[in-house]
A and B are shown apart, each in its own frame.
Chain A
Amino acid sequence: EDKVVQSPLSLVVHEGDTVTLNCSYEVTNFRSLLWYKQEKKAPTFLFMLTSSGIEKKSGRLSSILDKKELSSILNITATQTGDSAIYLCAVAPGAGSYQLTFGKGTKLSVIP
């Protein structure tokens, strides 16, 4: 059975801190790893990673995939209260299939 594990499950930081969220996976077939931000109901797409070692960056957020270690990290620098959310990691299987397997998420709380 495919499995995606995120750590930590929850995290409380102060504004301005830098955080690193972790995601590891065990899947039969791997095509890509996706990160989403979930504030209320709908997960918002952040990154899709397919190649090892290539960092994807969007503003203060960045992410990188390590296929050898079967893991990914999501970094957020200079955190703001608006970054408070649940961050979800998901893995997409091989060619021809789009069903995502999600981790339980990391709940990030940024306090002023």
Chain B
Amino acid sequence: SAVISQKPSRDICQRGTSLTIQCQVDSQVTMMFWYRQQPGQSLTLIATANQGSEATYESGFVIDKFPISRPNLTFSTLTVSNMSPEDSSIYLCSVVVQGIYNEQFFGPGTRLTVL
């Protein structure tokens, strides 16, 4: 498995501001993802964080709103830009531990509330 930490664990932000969420893994991983879980909903993939190149975004998510950095194989950031109350969610990073089973593990999550 992998030990994943996220910062901050929670935040309350004002409309129109931006928040950057950090994800740190205790080992080098190739595959790292960012998910969103809106209240009462399941997890939705935002993007794949690619090391050394631009992130790959899923339909409905754009770089201007959710810029992602991946400077190395153990760290990534997700920024939620120009926030609105609709961005209130739990944001989770996940990694794939490559091996026989390629299991995917999640970080502890960041609970974001936008007022």
On A, residues with C-beta under 8 Å from B are: 32, 34, 36, 40-45, 48, 50, 88, 90, 92, 98-100, 102-105
Shortest CB-to-CB span from A4 to chain B, Å, is 8
In this complex, what residue of B is CB-closest to A88?
Answer: B42
Shortest CB-to-CB span from A45 to chain B, Å, is 6
Q: Which 5 A-B pairs have the closest CB atoms?
A: A41-B109, A102-B42, A102-B43, A42-B108, A104-B42
CB-CB under 8 A from A36, the residues of chain B are 106
Question: How many interface contacts (CB-CB < 8 Å) are there between A and B?
Answer: 55
Shortest CB-to-CB span from A112 to chain B, Å, is 26
On B, residues with C-beta under 8 Å from A are: 1, 9, 31, 33, 41-45, 48, 58, 90, 92, 94, 96, 101-111
Shortest CB-to-CB span from B76 to chain A, Å, is 15
- In Å, the complex CA distance between A43 and B110 comes to 12
CB-CB under 8 A from B107, the residues of chain A are 42
Tell whether A43 pairs with B106 under 8 Å between CB atoms, given A88-B43, A99-B48, A100-B43. Answer: yes
Q: Could you tell me if A45 and B45 are in contact, using CB atoms closer than 8 angstroms?
A: no
- In Å, the complex CA distance between A59 and B41 comes to 29
Other A-B pairs beyond A41-B108, A99-B33, 15, CB < 8 Å = A41-B110, A41-B111, A43-B92, A44-B106, A45-B1, A45-B106, A48-B103, A50-B101, A88-B43, A92-B104, A98-B31, A98-B33, A100-B104, A103-B42, A105-B42
